[in-house]
Structure 1
Amino acid sequence: MTAAIEVRRFETPDDKLDMAEAGSISIVQMADGTAGMRAVFEPGWTWEKDEKPLLGSPAACPARHTGYCISGRLIVRMVDTDIETAIGPGDFFEIPPGHDGYVDGDERVELVLFAPPEHAH
């Protein structure tokens, strides 16, 4: 079997996490299980207020995020240490599980996130 190039677009996502006026996360799923996500967080977005309830209200975000910031400024806080890190345009980042965050300032944050295939445990 010959490998084929696969192209997907965030405009036609496989799944979408809609946070109303606060923003959204569009998710595309590749054939091998790799996921790509485009996250848009509007000014005033906070993980606590806008995303936590959609995830079943965990104490902190349980996911690991690897991605790239296109625009805006996101402050991400590790819940156990209270250490905050600013992520801005041009930053490539790796955020471990156990965080929350918020948009800093009046510019929308746009991120592209990458997730490896989910492996069965």
Structure 2
Amino acid sequence: MASAETKNFSSPDETREFKGKGRAEFLTVNGRPVSKGTFEPGWKWSVNLRPIAQTDSCQVEHLGYVISGRMRVVMDDGTQFEVGPDDLFALPPGHDAEVVGDETCVLVDFGQVGQYATPPAS
């Protein structure tokens, strides 16, 4: 049986800065990474994370909950949708995303975020 474990994002295990306009803070709980992303107005995956990920679109699977702000997601097939406060979302690999409006978007991601905002392995 796994043991109980608590952590707090005020003391993250790791912080990964985007190429401007935000960061992702990570906690590992019972061996599973969880991130809290802070995406500032003007942030766009293809501008601020593509240089880090070195892929044409985001290849991370996300399972997230939006705390504040709004984000627009554009799938590789052209499908678009927005998420905002109190929205829970599941997002497969193959997308771009951008902050909508002038409010910072903050969300918690329980998806496959272990390698999010890191360069590809050599």
**TM bucket, shorter chain:** 0.7 to 0.9
Q: Report the residue type matching 1:72 in the other structure.
A: G
> Unmatched 5+ residue regions in structure 2?
115-122
Code of the residue aligned with 2:17 in structure 1: it is D
- Aligned counterparts, 1:1-121, within 5 A: 3-19=2-18, 21-31=20-30, 33-55=31-53, 57-79=54-76, 81-115=77-111
Q: Which has the larger radius of gyration?
A: 1
Alignment: residue pair count: 114
| CA drift at 1:34 | 1.4
Distance in 1 (alpha carbons) for counterparts of 2:33 and 2:61? 13
Q: State how far apart, in whole Å, the 1-side matches of 2:113 and 2:32 are.
A: 4
SS at match of 2:110: strand
Give the share of equivalent positions with the same residue, in percent: 35
Q: State the alpha-carbon separation in 2 of the partners of residues 89 and 53 from structure 1.
A: 28
Query: What's the TM-score once normalised by structure 2's chain length?
Result: 0.85
Is contact 2:24-2:35 (8 Å) kept? yes
- Unmatched tracts of structure 1, length 5 or more: none
Give the secondary structure class of the aligned counterpart of 1:115. coil
**Mapped partners of 2:112, 2:17: distance in 1:** 22
Structure 1 counterpart SS, 2:49: helix
Give the deviation of 1:115 after TM superposition: 3.1
For 2:90, the aligned partner's letter is E
Root-mean-square deviation (CA), in Å? Answer: 1.9
Stretches of 4+ moved more than 4 A in 1? Answer: none
Cα distance change on mapping 1:91 and 1:18 into 2, 3 Å: same
Could you say if the C-alpha distance between residues 116 and 47 of structure 1 is closer, same or farther in structure 2, counting changes exceeding 3 Å?
Answer: closer
